[in-house]
Amino acid sequence: MRKFLSILFFLSLISTAGCGRSEKISTAMDSWKGSHQSQLIRSWGPPTLTHSDGKGGQILEWRYERGSNKTTATTVPNTQTTIYRHKSKSYASRMFWVDEEGIIYYWSWKGW
């Protein structure tokens, strides 16, 4: 029972840490609502991609690469077995919707 409670406590710490990071990102993103896109671009640099928002405005997207396309090989001691692990790239993105006047009216993000 004690081991179970320790594991449960550890898992709750991990999930709370993620929530804190999520809140910080959301708060930072939300702080740009109502600002002009030129202020955001001046602060973050040019977006990686731009898309139409379908209403005459744009969606500005900043995409960040996480991880790497790397394969590692590990030989299991005292055996002839080699284990190959492939770690693939993942992406985090931050997107802002801007209207015809360049004012940010919506945002979205995914990935850390």
**Tens digit of each residue's pLDDT (9 = 90 or more) over 75-103:** 777 777 766 676 667 789 999 999 999 99
Residue 20 pLDDT exceeds 90: no
Residue 104 pLDDT exceeds 70: yes
Comparing 12-16, 49-53, 62-66, 77-81, the range with the smallest average pLDDT is 12-16
Sign of the torsion angle spanned by Cα atoms 7, 12, 18, 20: negative
pLDDT value for 93: 93
What is the maximum span of the chain, computed from C-alpha positions, in angstroms? 67
- Which residue, chain included where needed, has tokens 């394969």? 71
* Residue 26 backbone class (left: φ over 0; alpha: ψ -120 to 50; beta: rest): alpha
User: 17: which residues sit within 8 A by CB, 6+ positions away?
Assistant: none
